[in-house]
Amino acid sequence: MTGLRRELGVWGAASIVVGTVIGSGIFLVPRKMVLETGSADLVFAVWVFGGLLSLAGALTYAELAAMMPEAGGEYNYLKAAYGPFWGFLYGWTQMWVAKSGSIATLATGFFYYLANFRPELDQRLFVIPVPLGPGGGPLEASAGQMLAIGVILALGWLNWFGIRVGGGVQVAVTALKVLLIGWIIFVGLGAAPRAEAAGGLAQARGGVAGFFAALVAALWAYDGWNNVSMVASEVKQPQRNLPRALIYGTGAVMAIYLLTNLAYFRVLTPAQVASSDRVAAVMMQRAIGAWGADLVSVAAMISIFAALNGSILSGSRVPYAMARDGYFFRRFSAVHERHAAPGFSILALSAWSSVLVLSGRYDQLVTLVIFPSWILYGMSAAAVLVLRRKMPAAPRPYKALGYPVIPVVFVGVAGFLTLQTLVNSPRESLLGLVLILCGVPFYLYWNRRLAPQDRDGMGRR
């Protein structure tokens, strides 16, 4: 039986971290953070705290990734620590809502930025008279949605040719993205400082509530550092390269975010940042003129394109891993004999993400699963503690730095954010939980079909 090949080097693995994390967040999130905290100093404090928290997660996941360098990432960690049911819930969520919704959101963001140059993309092309559109209305397809779907399917087709091709594209596009963002940073830091006094934002929420609300926004911008663990079975020398990719990649993202915000606040006041949802474009326009704002749109599109490719590349390995173990539709476990890629899983994830683009409900679905997803993220990090007791003799080529303090801190903050989400959005949180639990009958069906020895948390078919 054809399997996946280890063809992704440390730079390719690190580019999945950097390329998938840095999408549109750095261009959008600063406004939300200023509105919540009210000052530039607190915005930087939130970025640092969120970065250190993400780094704590990376340090924790590095032990798990080196210990279990297999396709699927958290699916494997949850399965090994708590049993196959929890791994299944994670994979089910990723396939149908979380990862597919994220892909749809990124593709739509890509066409929104392109519409700055081609406004006709917002025009409606046709209407499908079925009540699956926004608000239960008919599906209205625009030229931009068709473009977004085309980009998803094109990248799905590209990744069908294997990790060497998909990873090569990821390295190239991520390098270009970092260069363009580096140019934005260079322009901002080299520009004349703002003439206006910085001051604070009186209408900001402020306090502890404002800080944590801004932190949620920052963590959304940092989200995706864990994706490289999903392609662990295709990384060369995984015991060495996976920890390096996780730690170095997350550290690089944190540095880029801090430098970018330093450029923003050198040119703009907190009030000016808060008044624009295109803060990078406003900063560049002030610094070098209108063409600078156009450059930001190009940088944003390339940034989103890299995140989109990384999401399809990594996300498709989760349903593949589930199907390989007998907990998903069998076709998803197929590996192309020549390209050594889970071709059916890649194309199916791309196709489902395209459906979500057309429905216009992807952002609602992502919002619904924030609560249960953070439960599973926290449990994944806690798996380090569980497996140290459950499997003390298992080889650990890399051990989490700062154990057990760093894993415990990450799990504690994940638990706090989960609780905050439940308190602030109880209806969406409970609906998201119900949505995920709809997969339980499928789990029971597939679990009954497995032989007893294959139901073990570490079993392989």
- 220 contacts 47 by C-beta, under 8 angstroms: no
- 153 contacts 104 by C-beta, under 8 angstroms: no
206 sits in the region (left: phi over 0; alpha: psi -120 to 50; else beta) called: left
pLDDT at 461: 40
- 261 contacts 292 by C-beta, under 8 angstroms: no
Task: List alpha helices for 124-198, DSSP H.
Answer: 143-159, 163-190
Q: Closest Cα partner for 225 from 2, 419, 74?
A: 74
Residue 15 DSSP class: H
- Report d(CA 160, CA 158) in Å as an integer: 5
- Report d(CA 71, CA 27) in Å as an integer: 31
Phi, psi angle pair for 222, to nearest 5°: -85, -10
Coil, helix or strand for 1?
A: coil
The CA–CA distances, whole Å, from 177 to 12, 253, 409 equal 14, 12, 32
- 280 contacts 48 by C-beta, under 8 angstroms: no
Coil, helix or strand for 231?
A: strand
Per-residue pLDDT of the chain (461 residues; tens, 9 = 90+): 568 889 999 999 999 999 999 988 898 889 989 999 988 999 999 999 999 999 999 999 999 999 999 999 999 999 999 999 999 999 999 999 889 988 998 998 888 888 888 888 778 777 877 766 666 677 778 888 899 999 999 999 999 999 999 999 999 999 999 999 999 999 999 988 876 666 666 577 778 888 888 888 898 889 889 999 999 999 999 999 999 999 999 999 999 999 999 999 999 998 889 888 789 999 999 999 888 888 999 999 999 999 999 999 999 999 999 999 999 999 999 999 899 999 999 999 999 999 888 887 777 777 777 788 888 889 999 999 999 999 999 999 999 989 999 999 999 988 988 888 888 788 888 888 898 999 999 999 999 988 665 655 444 44
Residue 235 DSSP class: B
The two tokens of residue 263 are: 């450029």
- 59 contacts 400 by C-beta, under 8 angstroms: yes
pLDDT at 378: 92
Q: Inter-axis angle of helices 25-37 and 279-288, to 10 degrees?
A: 100
Phi, psi angle pair for 410, to nearest 5°: -60, -45
- 226 contacts 297 by C-beta, under 8 angstroms: no
Q: Closest Cα partner for 71 from 232, 243, 257, 238?
A: 232
DSSP per position, 245-280: HHHHHHHHHHHHHHHHHHHHHHHS-HHHHHT-S-HH
- 365 contacts 374 by C-beta, under 8 angstroms: no
- Report d(CA 28, CA 331) in Å as an integer: 39
The two tokens of residue 225 are: 């550092």
Coil, helix or strand for 126?
A: strand
Residue 400 DSSP class: -
The two tokens of residue 87 are: 């791994």
Coil, helix or strand for 64?
A: helix
Q: Which own/partner contact pairs does 402-406 have at CB distance under 8 Å and 24+ positions apart? A: 402/56, 402/59, 403/63, 406/56, 406/59, 406/60
pLDDT at 459: 45
* N- to C-terminal Cα separation, the chain: 12
Prediction pTM value: 0.90
Q: Which CATH class, in words, describes the domain spanning 10-455?
A: mainly alpha
Other Cβ atoms closer than 10 A to 294: 15
Residue 161 DSSP class: T
Residue matched to tokens 């599973």: 376
Q: What are the b/e assignments for 308-334, b being 16+ CB within 10 Å?
A: bbbbbbbbbbbbbbbbbbbbbeeebbb
Q: Closest Cα partner for 274 from 184, 205, 186?
A: 205
